[in-house]
């Protein structure tokens, strides 16, 4: 039976912690949430020698054990609770060779908790170029630890790190320094009150309660020990930080040599350009244009292949399955068409995550956040709101979770309420199919009309988020007392392994999470579309007027369309049609709107299912969803999907809150149904009005 040990991966933001995690676990990783809260819990398995497995927990980035956000609090809660199933047997502190002094503050704090601690010094390949020399033996002796000098870019030092993890019991648990000297009398009284407890752990418990309000404690109850005010405790924390830096400086004076003459000015030159108040915005705009153009151009071939493959698969099932009947129709028209309507967008979604990952890995995304802060402040958003708004382009759910870094409650609430306006990847399938239907192919200055339309929708969503924040800021009377601080990491070439893992994990999550919903809804929709009440559905043949000039296939399609209209799903669509008719939608689009409240991306799968029901006789080619939607007409012969109705539909999805999961997360984050209900009503009203104006103006 293999043995498993718990490893906590801890470090400051931008030290390469994710690269170390990927190097240890590869694709053998998963992301969930910590129990009771929505902070990401990233974990994976690393195989060591002799059947030993290490359970690696990648903890949220933190600068110290003095928490100022819920993300940082997760780290402290785990390290203070030995009863937690994830409590580490060994802690790995990831540091950056260029910022070693700052990273060592966190290291010394965790070391003082008497947990076996390994110091990883990452980006060691930069040492020669940056003129940095380290005396590893001296540093190990002074810090009472083992040091792994690694480079995830060169894939060096990983084997040695695994060996250190396996032999963690040999690592000293001796604290780095005695913090009780910052106030001897206070710590003596603390020791008398809790004679059998570790003094530094007690100190952390008391100061975290002071910093962050009352938080859950499994082992220690210090609520009755009130000998100092919160202000006095914070002053002692400052004294502790000074004492630690004095200790770190003294050791680095001996163990680290930096040749300042080798420092290059390339970073400062790039920063002057990329965060320039004019050129910075222009460069960011050009990068966005390039990304959207690439999403369209590069994904065309795989999308066409997937499209024809699923159409062929549905046809093959109809022709091959023995006996035909309802089960065959369910598989071909319900399951295959529904899933095919989503799988076709995997290439474009994968490319979107690919580009976002490159921007983050290169260090450019931090510059974008800094650049856009100048604009955001005027509209009532915190500088820290930029991170959720940008991450909202992937998914609104983790973006809402990311607001936990915003300390001010009102600023956090405004960010939560406006984040769903940013265009998430779930909207992408809807945008892409509608744009392909109503926006003509063609180019202007080397850019396609369709790519420009997609970018305009992204900018429109972002603009509405900013405008809504401005209005909410005036309503909620937010007082801005916070300062925006963002770390500018060094520029670096993105690690291909990290980018690939990110693309695979994010795309896999999108496909499987959406896939469960789509599969279930496709089956439900097929059942609702294949059955109906009354004589008009059951005896449709006698109600449909046929002509001698019609082919058997045309008559079959006419009967199928009549049955669909009088099926259960047709009745639902017809019921809401009067409300959506002014927007340019028919009852079939109405069904898609209703179904997509489960998740926006379901809209495409729903239409694929509806247009596939009885759409072709046996042996006939089954058209792709795009062709079916292009050919869809009203009774008078006019097309359903025109420029006016298409733009109306794009605007509706740009602004509407079509996502139950996001509403659930907003409720969880705000601890009330009031805010998600207001969000749902407000966003739906904005979407309806904008779509109505667009259709009435363009028709």
**Once rounded to an integer, what is the mean pLDDT over residues 662-666?**
76
680: exposed, middle or buried (Cβ count in 10 Å: 0-12, 13-18, 19+): buried
Question: Binning pLDDT at 50, 70 and 90, where does residue 666 land?
Answer: confident
Same domain, 374 and 487: yes
Question: Binning pLDDT at 50, 70 and 90, where does residue 145 land?
Answer: very high
Residue 220, pLDDT > 70, answer no
Largest CA distance in the chain: 104
Same domain, 340 and 447: yes
- pLDDT at position 617: 39
d(CA 413, CA 671): 11
CB atoms within 10 A of CB 613: 21
- pLDDT at position 30: 63
- pLDDT at position 262: 61
Would you call 631 helix, strand, or coil by DSSP? helix
- pLDDT at position 215: 44
- pLDDT at position 651: 94
Q: Which of 170, 192, 227 is the last residue of a domain?
A: 170
Which residues, 6+ apart, have CB-to-CB distance to 586 below 8 Å?
Answer: 573, 577, 632, 634, 640
Question: Does residue 217 lie in a domain region?
Answer: no
Kindly report the three-state secondary structure assignment for every residue of 382-438: CHHHHHHHHHCCCCHHHHHHHHHHCCCHHHHHHHHHHHHHCCCCCHHHHHHHHHHHH
Which residues, 6+ apart, have CB-to-CB distance to 372 below 8 Å?
Answer: 386
Q: 127-141, 214-228, 487-501, 667-681 — which is least confidently predicted?
A: 214-228
- pLDDT at position 683: 92
Beta-bridge mates of residue 443: 448
- pLDDT at position 109: 92
Chain centre distance of CA 318: 39
Q: Higher-confidence residue: 131 or 107?
A: 107
Beta strand 146-149 with 117-122 is: parallel
Q: 173-182, 185-194, 550-559, 578-587 — which is least confidently predicted?
A: 550-559
**Once rounded to an integer, what is the mean pLDDT over residues 29-50?**
65
Same domain, 161 and 270: no
Q: Are 622 and 331 within 8 A, CB to CB?
A: no
pLDDT, tens digit, 9 for 90 and up, residues 637-661: 778 788 898 999 999 999 988 777 6
Residue 513, pLDDT > 70, answer no
Domain carrying residue 382? 264-531+567-699
- pLDDT at position 104: 92
Residue 566, pLDDT > 60, answer yes
Question: Does residue 387 lie in a domain region?
Answer: yes
Please give the model's pTM, rounded to 2 decimal places.
0.62
Question: Does residue 352 lie in a domain region?
Answer: yes
* pLDDT-above-70 percentage for the chain: 80
- pLDDT at position 590: 85
Question: Binning pLDDT at 50, 70 and 90, where does residue 213 land?
Answer: very low
Q: 5-9, 19-23, 26-30 — which is least confidently predicted?
A: 26-30
Computed over every residue of the chain, the mean pLDDT equals 79
pLDDT, tens digit, 9 for 90 and up, residues 64-101: 888 766 677 788 888 888 888 889 999 999 998 888 88
Q: Are 658 and 423 within 8 A, CB to CB?
A: no
Q: Higher-confidence residue: 668 or 235?
A: 235
Question: Does residue 228 lie in a domain region?
Answer: no
Same domain, 491 and 354: yes
Q: In what order do the strands lie in the sheet with 4-11?
A: 29-33, 40-47, 53-58, 4-11, 90-96, 117-122, 146-149
Question: Does residue 190 lie in a domain region?
Answer: no
Same domain, 272 and 410: yes
Question: Does residue 668 lie in a domain region?
Answer: yes
Question: Does residue 104 lie in a domain region?
Answer: yes
State the total domains in the chain. Answer: 2
d(CA 59, CA 68): 15
Residue 45, pLDDT > 80, answer yes
- pLDDT at position 423: 84
Distances (CA, A) of 252 to 73, 102, 134, 149, 181: 29, 11, 9, 16, 22
Question: Does residue 194 lie in a domain region?
Answer: no
Question: Binning pLDDT at 50, 70 and 90, where does residue 244 land?
Answer: very high
CATH code assigned at 39: 3.40.50.300
Question: Binning pLDDT at 50, 70 and 90, where does residue 218 land?
Answer: very low
**Once rounded to an integer, what is the mean pLDDT over residues 295-299?**
73
- pLDDT at position 696: 92
Same domain, 11 and 128: yes
Q: Which of 170, 186, 216 is the last residue of a domain?
A: 170
Residue 394, pLDDT > 70, answer no
Q: Which of 146, 170, 194 is the last residue of a domain?
A: 170
């Amino acid at each position: 039976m293999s043995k498993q040990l718990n490893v906590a991966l801890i470090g400051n933001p931008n030290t390469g912690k994710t690269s170390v995690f990927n190097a240890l676990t590869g694709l053998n990783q998963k992301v969930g949430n910590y129990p009771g809260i929505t902070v990401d819990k990233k974990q994976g398995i690393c195989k060591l020698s002799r059947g030993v497995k290490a359970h690696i927990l990648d903890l949220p980035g933190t600068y110290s054990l003095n928490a100022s956000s819920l993300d940082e609090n997760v780290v402290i809660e785990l390290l203070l609770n030995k009863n937690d199933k994830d409590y580490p047997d060994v802690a790995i502190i990831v540091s950056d060779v260029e910022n070693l002094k700052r990273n060592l503050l966190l290291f010394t704090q965790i070391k003082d908790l008497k947990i076996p601690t390994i110091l990883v010094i990452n980006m060691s390949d930069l040492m020669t170029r940056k003129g940095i020399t380290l005396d590893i033996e001296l540093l190990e002796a002074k810090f009472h630890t083992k040091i792994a000098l690694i480079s995830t870019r060169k894939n060096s030092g990983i084997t040695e790190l695994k060996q250190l993890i396996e032999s963690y019991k040999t690592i000293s648990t001796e604290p780095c320094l005695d913090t009780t000297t910052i106030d001897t009398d206070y710590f003596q009284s603390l020791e008398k009150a809790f004679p059998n407890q570790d003094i530094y752990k007690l100190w952390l418990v008391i100061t975290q309660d002071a910093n962050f309000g009352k938080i859950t404690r499994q082992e220690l109850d210090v609520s009755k020990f009130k000998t100092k005010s919160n202000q006095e405790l914070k002053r002692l924390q400052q004294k502790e930080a000074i004492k630690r830096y004095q200790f770190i400086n003294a050791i680095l004076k001996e163990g680290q040599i930096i040749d300042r003459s080798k420092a290059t000015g390339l970073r400062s030159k790039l920063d002057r350009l990329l965060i320039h108040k004019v050129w910075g915005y222009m460069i960011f705009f050009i990068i966005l244009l390039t990304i959207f153009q690439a999403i369209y151009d590069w994904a065309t071939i795989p999308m066409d292949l997937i499209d024809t493959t699923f159409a062929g698969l549905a046809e093959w099932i109809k022709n091959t399955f023995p006996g035909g009947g309802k089960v065959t129709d369910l598989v071909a028209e319900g399951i295959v068409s529904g899933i095919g309507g989503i799988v076709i967008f995997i290439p474009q979604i994968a490319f979107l995550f690919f580009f976002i990952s490159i921007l983050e890995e290169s260090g450019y995304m931090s510059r974008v956040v800094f650049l856009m802060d100048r604009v955001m402040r005027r509209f009532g958003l915190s500088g820290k709101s930029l991170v959720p708004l940008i991450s909202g382009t992937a998914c609104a759910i983790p973006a809402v979770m990311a607001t936990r870094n915003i300390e001010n409650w009102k600023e956090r609430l405004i960010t939560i309420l406006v984040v769903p306006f940013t265009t998430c990847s779930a909207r992408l399938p809807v945008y892409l199919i509608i744009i392909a239907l109503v926006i003509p192919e063609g180019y202007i200055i080397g850019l396609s009309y369709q790519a420009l339309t997609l970018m305009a929708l992204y900018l429109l969503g972002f603009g509405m988020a900013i405008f809504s924040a401005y209005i909410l800021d005036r309503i909620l009377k937010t007082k801005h007392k916070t300062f925006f601080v963002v770390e500018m990491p060094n520029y670096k070439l993105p690690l291909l392994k990290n980018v690939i893992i990110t693309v695979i994990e994010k795309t896999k999550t999108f496909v499987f999470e959406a896939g469960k919903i789509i599969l279930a809804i496709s089956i439900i929709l097929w059942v609702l579309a294949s059955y109906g009440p009354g004589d008009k559905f059951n005896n449709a043949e006698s109600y449909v007027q046929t002509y001698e000039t019609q082919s058997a296939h045309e008559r079959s399609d006419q009967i199928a369309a009549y049955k669909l209209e009088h099926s259960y799903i047709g009745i639902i669509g017809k019921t809401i049609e009067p409300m959506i008719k002014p927007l340019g939608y028919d009852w079939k689009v109405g069904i898609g709107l209703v179904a997509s409240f489960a998740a926006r991306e379901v809209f495409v799968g729903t239409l694929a299912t509806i247009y596939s029901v009885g759409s072709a006789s046996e042996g006939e080619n089954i058209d792709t969803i795009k062709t079916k939607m292009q050919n869809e007409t009203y009774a008078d012969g006019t097309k359903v999907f025109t420029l006016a109705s298409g733009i109306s539909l794009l605007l509706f999805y740009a602004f509407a809150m079509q996502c139950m999961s996001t509403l659930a997360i907003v409720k969880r984050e705000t601890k009330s149904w009031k805010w998600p209900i207001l969000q749902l009503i407000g966003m739906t009203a904005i979407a309806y009005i904008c779509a109505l104006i667009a259709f009435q103006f363009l028709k």
